[in-house]
Structure 1
Amino acid sequence: MTLSPRLRIASLSAATLLAALAATPATAKAGDVLVRLRAIAVVPNERSGPVLPTFPGGSVGVGNSFMPEIDFTYMATDHLGLELIAATTRHGLSGRGSLSGLSDLGHTWVLPPTLTLQYHLAPAAKVRPYLGAGINYTIFYGAGTSDALDTAIGRTDLSLKNSFGWAAQAGVDFDLTETLFVNLDIKYIDMTTTARLTTGALVNSVDVKINPIVVGVGLGMRF
């Protein structure tokens, strides 16, 4: 029986769709390296102590940040991977409590290299969820105070103590081709610092728990 042109086109389209659905997934297996490029939102869940000794009724807030991030995962087995993320973000610092009149206290850059051990639940599937846990070391650099703070209390230098803590994550990869996939990822990072504000001979300090949630979406490739 001869098919009409419309039926031939419909049959060809259906065959193409079936072939795409049956395509080999970007399987994560032992020895693979997965590279992901994400856009991330870093949302602190901060809690601050008082700014002592000068502002016992004041505290500090830490703003959100949006940046690109790159990470590398080495698959030690079909199910276990080691992921290292590399990203740096800039965060604004604001006054709260008796310092709420200073909406801009200053800023700091944060470099939080994080290493996690991941368990990939379905490494041979087209949709591959994973869970991870690991460690984080956060480096604070490029900190500075605002003109508003310097005008209020005098020229002030700001420094923040580096932080060591734990991290947890959950994510999922969605195949596009045999080597290319979309990634969604969320992390919680245990991050605590002590900020020191030096104004002449006077030193104020404040303990801040930052503990950000890091949400990322991007593309990955398997090598």
Structure 2
Amino acid sequence: MNLTKTVALASLLTSATLASTGVLAHEAGSWLVRGGLGTVIPQESSDDVAGSGELEIDDNTQIAATLSYMFTDNIGFEVLAATPFTHEVKTNGLGKIAEVSHLPPSFMAQYYFGQADSEIRPYLGAGLNYTVFFDEKSYGKIKGSDVELDDSFGLAAQAGIDVSINDKWFANASIWYIDIDTTVKVKGVGNFDTEIDPIVAMISAGYTF
């Protein structure tokens, strides 16, 4: 994650902490809804593409949301959803060669630190991700070639923090690591094993009920 994104997350948490006037109600039986912006930051590596270097995948930001249910005061289960992320794909030798969209629904078991009525609830999560790729388009020197990416099933981990605004509303910041491995298939060029393995940074507002 670059410095700008790190500073933005830190600023959000600082502002939320200063504005905090109540306690959270993250207790057994509660539902937690979070909505905001999520940025996918690929940490990619791949096979060499026809002597032009590895695939390079740019960042993308979209609307993201999570829904969590608290089984106990400290243990929850969360589902991540988002509007489709779209990334440009290039290599050093060929420039931009493709665009691809994906949806990365993730399912996480979570542990929340502290008491149910704490003003600040940091948490850790681990679970599974299923990434669906679609709307692949070719550009540049391979324009007109069919491009296809295999869907991916892998592990995911997260760290986050909720900071109360009042007894219902809270601010959230979280970071995810998602294991996404795929094969990029370019008709007439070849198949290229690719590890995308993004960090996902999310800032959001939350409501508990």
Give the TM-score of the pair, scaled to structure 2. Answer: 0.86
**Other-structure match for 1:8:** none
SS state at 2:24 partner: coil
Runs of 4+ residues over 4 Å off in structure 1: none
**Other-structure match for 1:46:** 44
1:64 matched to 2:24? The reply is: no
Q: 1:27, 1:126 within 8 Å by CA — same for their partners in 2?
A: no
| Amino acid of the structure 1 residue aligned with 2:91 | G
Distance in structure 2 (CA, Å) of the matches to 1:164 and 1:220:
28
Question: Number of paired residues?
Answer: 188
**Other-structure match for 2:118:** 125
| Amino acid of the structure 2 residue aligned with 1:129 | P
Task: Please give the root-mean-square deviation of Cα atoms over the aligned residues, in Å.
Answer: 1.4
Larger Rg over CA atoms:
1
Consecutive unaligned residues in structure 2, runs of 5 or more: 1-19
| Amino acid of the structure 2 residue aligned with 1:211 | D
SS state at 1:28 partner: coil
Consecutive unaligned residues in structure 1, runs of 5 or more: 1-19
When residues 57 and 94 of structure 1 are mapped into structure 2, their CA distance, relative to the original with a 3 A threshold, is closer
Distance in structure 2 (CA, Å) of the matches to 1:95 and 1:57:
6
**Other-structure match for 1:177:** 166
Distance in structure 1 (CA, Å) of the matches to 2:39 and 2:104:
14
**1:11-160 map, 5 Å:** 21=21, 23=22, 25-51=23-49, 55-87=50-82, 88-96=84-92, 100=93, 102-122=94-114, 123-146=116-139, 148-150=140-142, 155-160=144-149
Identity of aligned residues (%): 34
1:206 matched to 2:192? The reply is: yes
User: 1:125-166 CA distances to partner (integer Å, 9 max, x unpaired)?
Assistant: 0011000000001100111111x1246xxx201000001110
| Amino acid of the structure 2 residue aligned with 1:144 | K
Q: Per-residue deviation at 1:56? A: 4.2
| Amino acid of the structure 2 residue aligned with 1:90 | T
